[in-house]
Structure 1
Amino acid sequence: MGTGSFCELWACLALCALMLLRTQGAGVGITYLESAVAKGAVCLDGSAPAYHFDKGFGSGINNWLVHMEGGGWCTDIATCSERKNTQKGSSKFMVKQFGFSGILGSKQKSNPDFFNWNRIKIRYCDGSSFTGDIEAVNPANKLFFRGARVWHAIIDDLLAKGMRNAQNAILSGCSAGGLASILHCDEFRQLLPSTAKVKCVADAGYFIHGKDISGGSFIESFFGKVVATHGSAKNLPASCTSRTRPELCFFPQYVVPHMQTPIFIINAAYDSWQIKNILAPSAVDRKKEWKNCKLDLKKCSSAQLQTVQAFRQQVVNAVTPLHNSTSRGLFLDSCYTHCQAGGADTWSGDKSPTVGNTVHSSVIPLYPL
């Protein structure tokens, strides 16, 4: 093969790849917020925070949807040190192009309400649901616990890029990002114009203060370590921390009753992450009796299924603050899954979960801006 034909082949492949990215709704470039580094607003490893921004147009030009990425938490020096060498702890490892789909999708057919809004995905690289802020950096591990500063720096940058003129705005997120959308919801409202209509949407972020299979609450201890390691207490909603211990304010059921900003929750009653990590965490299931059951509920024994059903009741009890409210909404389905608004299949596909003949993509319009 000659040089010319070889170059033509690679050009063709590059063009095909680009077309594939566009077909899949990908290709939203990354923005590294280098100016934030001087403010100490950095990822776990000290690198600049980052986000992806697809600008709005037409009727959505002054509407903003800010979505925070999820990805769990780190609880101590060891787990945070491991995390800083991944995209969940460093922007150095993040992909340069990110495909937007689901609630962030750019196609009118599959995302009719938000397709032409300013859509932003904030990358998650701090391990604390954007709540940490410790000034000192130990030279031995060189870890930066600055999640709250990262959040503020990116929001400030978006305000400067036009969000300060928002007419409608939604703060959303998935998993740890969904929790972050709850914890930062009222503050987000305060940073936007008083004339703007602002609401929050948390997807799979309603982590419950549940009992595990031993009768204890492993998740309370887990979240307590996150709060202590990252210095999160001062950045959790004061409306909650003024009433109870800071680590309990990582649980939405204690935060939501005192929120001022309207919020909508999308969650599974049989949330797969919560069953694996709140009901039957590996640290409690030392004999691994729940290993197969957690991977596939069809492999659960009858006794285990009863326990899973009891956990569902814990979830139902925990969402009580969302009942009978004009400013709080809930879409609670019975899927064994975790995060449902970000994917095309679960957000607006033919097989999307349905509750009362209502699918995910129809939920938010029922909760009008």
Structure 2
Amino acid sequence: MEAQCGQMTGKTSKDPSHKGAEPLQANHIKNTSMEADKQRTRTKLHVLHALCVLVVCTLLAQRSQAAAQRGSSPNDIALSVDRLTELGNRGQALLRNIAIMTHSCGNTEMPQLRRKRLRHSSVTCNDGSHAGYYIRKSHSSSKWIVFMEGGWFCFDKASCAERRRLMPDFMSSRKWPRNRKGSGILSWDPEENPYYYQANMVLIPYCSSDSWSGTKNKTKNSDFAFMGSLILEEVIKKLMKKGLRKAKKLILTGSSAGGTGVLVNIDRIADLVKSRAPQVEVRGLVDAGWFLDNEPYRGRPCHNAYSCPPITSIQKGIQLWEPRLPRDCSAQYPTEVWRCYFGHRLYPTLKTEVYIIQNLYDAAQIKVNNVFDESRGLELNRDQWKYLLQLGEQVKATLMNTSAAFAPACVSHDVLLNSEWHKLAIDSVTLSQSIYCWEENGQTAASPCHSRTSPSSRNDTPLADAPPSSEEKRKQKNRRRKKRRRRNRRKRKNRGHNGQCRKHLLDRCPWPHCNCSCPRCRWPDTMNEVNQYFMKSLASVMDIDPDKMQDVNLCGY
């Protein structure tokens, strides 16, 4: 190119008629040469960019395959932040664009929870094996969700022996898998978990059989350890070193026995976190752990947790577990400390914010209260129907004075790990919306995944170092205005008629499973037969003409 330019300038200099135009023409040729150089530079950069994308995709695929062979997760890539400053503005913009374009070329599977054992701790599962937890960290979130697993309990030598035979993984960690898939509120899928998919997530498996309350170690005179409360405390201490110390919020949650464990431990965990990380706000989320200490419909031999009335099984259990219960509640019931396992007794003594999720016709409560006669299947007489309907009203009454609750009229049990948990709704407000509203102190429940900025809307394309023009600023301002309008519309939609956050929702429909967002029941017979019998027998109990119920169906069928 330089040779060609020299020849051109040499030819023009020989003509005397062009002496006055020589400087102007030289400048024109110089500018043309610079434009050509810039174009070649852009082309090289685009080629380099394409090669970088190809190399990154290839390396990610190889890394994913190698990690799969090792049995480890390929989801985290170590990156030195200090080295980023050496790239300069253009290099960082190029790297950011490569990351955006290669987002879908790596491992497309959802990240899994990784197993961590408490190897250097004295707290153990029932059989003496190491307790532990599963973790999935998110560097983009300062919010942590710690989930306590549920699964009944045992209360004496016979019930624990039966539990070891039927549910060995709930008493030992020896066969825990290396990784576990998260679901429901532990899912990283924004469709399944619209408000918490980016949070740091921890699952603590249940292997203490004591509703997360025990402190008893295994000795020569006892076959099992019951250390649920100590396991939870030890995991929280470990998580401090994993990043919880720098968090802004910890949501301690659990289902069934895990939900009861939240109630029993929440104030103690809040004090522990406050002593080590004062800036972390602790809240409790209880799912299906709000049991009633009422009289069962009828008694029967007590062999295990799901055949015993809850009062009887808990009274036996506290003699075995050496439980650690909240002081204020124990002081309120000094001769009946077993009542501190029941939410409506314990809740008034708590100092930490707690949100209660409880089906009005909880399947586990119905089972332990022996409402159904196994020999008669689904057939219920008038007294059984009355007891069932009264049970729903009793549950609703105990939740009236809670600050945050969600109680659908469903015949079901735990909710939070169900993949369709976000679809459950009362008065057109979903469970996930209500929880987010409560947890954010009344903020609008617009899903964070709906407000993310797309790569195409950013002014960060490579080589675009110039500031945005006035036209671009005007467009950005309009986009922000439209975004605010959409957010306000969602805010009005997700709030109640009085414009306030809906964090206390109790179903008003009059019979079991009358909420059409309830999960399907697993009835043993065909739904047509069940629906016909259900409505006719319910009508007789409620003093309604059965003919008027002929065209009424159970929701969802």
TM-score category of the 2 structures, normalised to the smaller one = 0.7 to 0.9
349, 363, 384: which one aligns with 1:272: 363
Contact 1:67/1:173, CA 8 A, preserved across alignment: yes
Partner secondary structure for residue 34 of structure 1: coil
Look up the match of 1:202: 286
Distance 2:425 2:354 in 1: 20
5+ residue gaps, structure 2, are 1-64, 74-106, 301-307, 441-557
Partner secondary structure for residue 361 of structure 2: coil
Look up the match of 1:237: 326
How far did residue 31 of structure 1 move?
Answer: 1.3
Contact 1:44/1:84, CA 8 A, preserved across alignment: no
Matching of residue 169 in structure 1 with residue 169 in structure 2: no
336, 348, 354: which one aligns with 2:411: 336
How far did residue 78 of structure 1 move?
Answer: 2.1
Look up the match of 1:355: 426
Distance 1:354 1:117 in 2: 23
Distance 1:124 1:314 in 2: 29
When residues 25 and 182 of structure 1 are mapped into structure 2, their CA distance, relative to the original with a 3 A threshold, is farther
Look up the match of 1:72: 152
Partner secondary structure for residue 310 of structure 1: helix
Distance 2:110 2:408 in 1: 27
How far did residue 25 of structure 1 move?
Answer: 4.5
Larger proportion of strand: 1
Distance 2:172 2:351 in 1: 33
Contact 2:187/2:197, CA 8 A, preserved across alignment: yes
Residue type matched to 1:28 in 2? L
Contact 1:56/1:118, CA 8 A, preserved across alignment: yes
Partner secondary structure for residue 343 of structure 1: coil
How far did residue 196 of structure 1 move?
Answer: 2.1
Deviations 1:108-133 (A, max 9, x none): 23223211111000010001122111
Matching of residue 83 in structure 1 with residue 173 in structure 2: no
When residues 30 and 136 of structure 1 are mapped into structure 2, their CA distance, relative to the original with a 3 A threshold, is closer
How far did residue 363 of structure 1 move?
Answer: 1.7
When residues 176 and 165 of structure 1 are mapped into structure 2, their CA distance, relative to the original with a 3 A threshold, is same
Matching of residue 152 in structure 1 with residue 233 in structure 2: yes
Contact 1:102/1:342, CA 8 A, preserved across alignment: yes
Deviations 1:257-290 (A, max 9, x none): 111111101110000011011x217xxxxxxx62
Residue type matched to 1:340 in 2? V
Partner secondary structure for residue 93 of structure 1: coil
Partner secondary structure for residue 115 of structure 1: coil
Look up the match of 2:139: 57
Sequence identity, in percent?
25
Contact 2:329/2:346, CA 8 A, preserved across alignment: yes
Partner secondary structure for residue 367 of structure 1: helix
How far did residue 26 of structure 1 move?
Answer: 6.7
Look up the match of 1:27: 112
131, 134, 138: which one aligns with 2:220: 138
Larger RCO: Structure 1 or Structure 2 (Cα < 8 Å, ≥ 6 residues apart)? 1
Contact 2:149/2:254, CA 8 A, preserved across alignment: yes
- Across the aligned residues of Structure 1 and Structure 2, the Cα RMSD in angstroms comes to 2.6
4+ long deviations beyond 4 Å: 22-26
212, 221, 225: which one aligns with 2:316: 225
Contact 1:210/1:314, CA 8 A, preserved across alignment: no
Larger proportion of helix: 2
321, 325, 349: which one aligns with 1:258: 349
Partner secondary structure for residue 160 of structure 1: helix
When residues 135 and 92 of structure 1 are mapped into structure 2, their CA distance, relative to the original with a 3 A threshold, is closer
Matching of residue 312 in structure 1 with residue 395 in structure 2: no
TM-score normalised by structure 1 residue count: 0.82
Residue type matched to 1:202 in 2? V
TM-score normalised by structure 2 residue count: 0.55
| Number of equivalent positions | 326
Residue type matched to 1:230 in 2? W
When residues 338 and 168 of structure 1 are mapped into structure 2, their CA distance, relative to the original with a 3 A threshold, is same
When residues 23 and 137 of structure 1 are mapped into structure 2, their CA distance, relative to the original with a 3 A threshold, is farther
Residue type matched to 1:118 in 2? N
Look up the match of 1:364: 435
Contact 1:101/1:343, CA 8 A, preserved across alignment: yes
Distance 1:196 1:276 in 2: 39
How far did residue 205 of structure 1 move?
Answer: 0.7
Residue type matched to 1:45 in 2? D
Higher-Rg member (1/2): 2
Matching of residue 94 in structure 1 with residue 176 in structure 2: yes
How far did residue 80 of structure 1 move?
Answer: 2.0
Look up the match of 1:112: 194
Residue type matched to 2:349 in 1? H
Residue type matched to 1:331 in 2? F
How far did residue 27 of structure 1 move?
Answer: 3.2
How far did residue 65 of structure 1 move?
Answer: 0.5
Residue type matched to 1:223 in 2? I
Distance 1:292 1:316 in 2: 30
Look up the match of 1:6: none
Alignment of 1:297-308 (within 5 A): 299-308=379-388
Residue type matched to 1:29 in 2? R
Distance 1:361 1:239 in 2: 31
Residue type matched to 1:149 in 2? L
5+ residue gaps, structure 1, are 1-10, 282-288, 323-327
When residues 342 and 292 of structure 1 are mapped into structure 2, their CA distance, relative to the original with a 3 A threshold, is farther
206, 210, 215: which one aligns with 1:128: 210
Distance 2:358 2:108 in 1: 29
Distance 2:396 2:299 in 1: 18
Residue type matched to 1:290 in 2? D
How far did residue 185 of structure 1 move?
Answer: 0.9
When residues 215 and 314 of structure 1 are mapped into structure 2, their CA distance, relative to the original with a 3 A threshold, is farther
